[in-house]
Structures are given as C-alpha cells and as structure tokens.
Structure 1
Amino acid sequence: MMDKAGGVVGQTVRPGKYAQVERERRFLLAEPPASAAVTVSRVIIDRYLVGTRLRLRRAEFPDGRREFKLTQKVPVSRPGAVQGLITNTYLSPAEYDVLASLPAALLSKSRFSVPPLGVDVFDGRLQGLVLAEAEFSTDEEAQAFLPPAECVVEVTDDARFTGGRLVRASRQELLAWLAEYGLRPAAS
C-alpha cells in the first residue's frame, strides 16, 4: 500500500535485485562549509520527472567531468534513517538528453563533500538552505552516528526537507520552515 507521497506504508523494507535500502540522516546547517574542509565539490541539477518517482541528475565537477544518473526512490512512511528503496542507473549524455526532454520540476544546488557529510547549498528560490546528509550501510551505523557540531538540527523525519518536497516549495514556505528551527538565511 502506498501513501499520498508514493511511500510504502507499514512494509518491511528489503533490498531487491536492483533496489538498495537507502539509509540517511539529514541536518540543517547555518552556513556553507569552509572551503578548506571540502574534499570534492560539484554542481547538481535535479529534474524531478512529473507524475513519477524518478529523478534525473546532472552533476558537473570542477575538472569538467559530468555524471548523468536516473534514480527511482520509493520512500517509506516511518521515522528514522531508513528512507526507503533507491535504484540508480548511470546514463550516457545522449540518454540523459532524451530523458531531459520530459516534463520536470527543477532543483539546483552545489554539493560539497565534507566527510562524513555531503552538504548541499541550494540556489534560486531555496537560496539560504544548507542541508547536510550522512549515508549509512546499516541501521546500527545510522543510530550510532554523532553529527558534527555544525549540524544545527536534525530533520531526518521532516519530509519537507527531502528533494521531492523541496522541488515544489516556494521561497515563503522555505523561510517559514527554517524559522521553525530558528534559522533565518540572509536576504537574497
């Protein structure tokens, strides 16, 4: 059974032949990471394909390398680090271009690897949102994780801070959500 957001309700989440269990915890940060702490960076354009659970991603690295990926996420409707099932398919530029012609909602951000976190600094109407996530292989790893001091608050269980929801958020909604956590981004 699926909920309104396409999440699996009351079902044990198990990896399949292609899908893997996605375990992550998400945190709000007050500001982007210091450049000295960043090990890898990339600019990401996500296209959430209308009427599906599919995300088309284009990542551009500073060295000119590009990565194209099609992802399906099947969320679960329960609290905690297990977010659901995720399946990734890497694409050629030509395959990406074909799929990029489909109707989609766009989300752009810069991602900074700051181990153990991936930190997303959003653009456009989501400017000022700095969201970090840590991914885990096991439930035990996720439960034992102690977030770094720069993590202001955990939002793992707040569905508003998932890509599928953020892509539909207005500037006013974002500002209200951040204010609930005591964060006020600089005016853009």
Structure 2
Amino acid sequence: MEIERKFLIKALPENLETYPCLLIEQAYLCTDPVVRVRRQNEDYYMTYKGRGLMVREEYNLPLNREAYLHLKAKADGRTITKKRYCIPQDALTIELDVFSSPEGLIMAEVEFPTEEAALAFTPPDWFGEDVTDDSRYHNSNMI
C-alpha cells in the first residue's frame, strides 16, 4: 500500500545539490491500471499501481536491464524523465522531482506509514499547493 501526498513547489530548497539524486526514466505500458517500467540509476523495476489518490495499492517487481529495455519499447514513447532529490524531513523523506519530460515541472512527494500521519503532515515553507487529490499530477497522466 502506498500512502503519499504530492505538492507543487514555490522555491527550491537551499543546497539542493548536496542531497542524494536519482536519475529516473519511467515508461507506461498501461494507465488504467497503471503498469510502468522504471530505470532508477542502474536499477530496474516494473510497478503496478491501483486506483486512488492519496492511498492506493502498489507492487514493485525487480527487472534486469534487458527486460526493462524490452518492455520500454512496448510503451510507444510514453515516457517521463526526472531527477529525484531525496531530502530528509524528520522521520520522512521528501522526494523532490525535477522533470525533464514534461519539462519545467517540479513536484514533491512524501510517503507516509499511515493515513493519519499523511493527514497530520505540515509541509515545509518551500512547498506550494497540495495536489494530492488532483489526478492530473499522477505521473501516468503526464505522458
């Protein structure tokens, strides 16, 4: 189960380059339900995501590079790319995504252990609008 809130960003945090960064490419085989393949640096996964906004099912399966490339070709160019900065925030991690495709979008995601924790979360000042309930900001809808 994935419990996650999403936010647009008003301003980038200071010293962004000091945080760990992942290079991510995601190709979508299906968007209802979401079935995608992902390259994250040199790790590869296939992910299934169920319906929902803040709370939904999520299953990740490891892939090798060859399987990833084979499945990526089936996505017919429905791909997004982004840099993900992992920023510690108390006991949580802010995943700040700077998209190359779609170009110019910057968004933060925060995953939570419970729905109660998600609802009680106070975002930092540099966060903008909460877009958790806006399905346009699901990565699968941005292709």
TM-score when normalising by structure 1: 0.67
2:14 alignment partner in structure 1? 34
**Equivalent pair of 1:28/1:153 in contact (CA under 8 Å):** yes
* Offset, 1:128: 1.8
Q: Judging by fraction of residues, say which structure has more strand.
A: 2
CA distance in structure 2 between the partners assigned to 1:89 and 1:57 by the alignment? 10
2:72 alignment partner in structure 1? 100
How has the CA–CA distance of structure 1 residues 27 and 101 changed in structure 2, closer, same or farther, with 3 Å as cutoff? same
**Structure 2 spans left out of the alignment, 5+ residues:** none
The answer to which structure, 1 or 2, has the higher relative contact order (CA under 8 A, 6+ apart) is 2
TM-align CA RMSD: 1.8
1:114 alignment partner in structure 2? 87
CA distance in structure 1 between the partners assigned to 2:136 and 2:116 by the alignment? 25
Aligned-pair identity (%) = 31
Q: Which residue of the other structure, out of 40, 61, 64, is the alignment partner of 1:89?
A: 61
Q: Which residue of the other structure, out of 56, 62, 67, is the alignment partner of 2:37?
A: 56
* Offset, 1:144: 1.2
1:184 alignment partner in structure 2? none
Map Cα deviations across residues 82-116 of structure 1 (whole Å, 9 max, x no partner). 1x111100111222222223134010111111123
* Offset, 1:166: 1.0
CA distance in structure 1 between the partners assigned to 2:29 and 2:21 by the alignment? 25
How has the CA–CA distance of structure 1 residues 41 and 108 changed in structure 2, closer, same or farther, with 3 Å as cutoff? same
Between Structure 1 and Structure 2, whose CA radius of gyration is higher? 1
TM-score when normalising by structure 2: 0.86
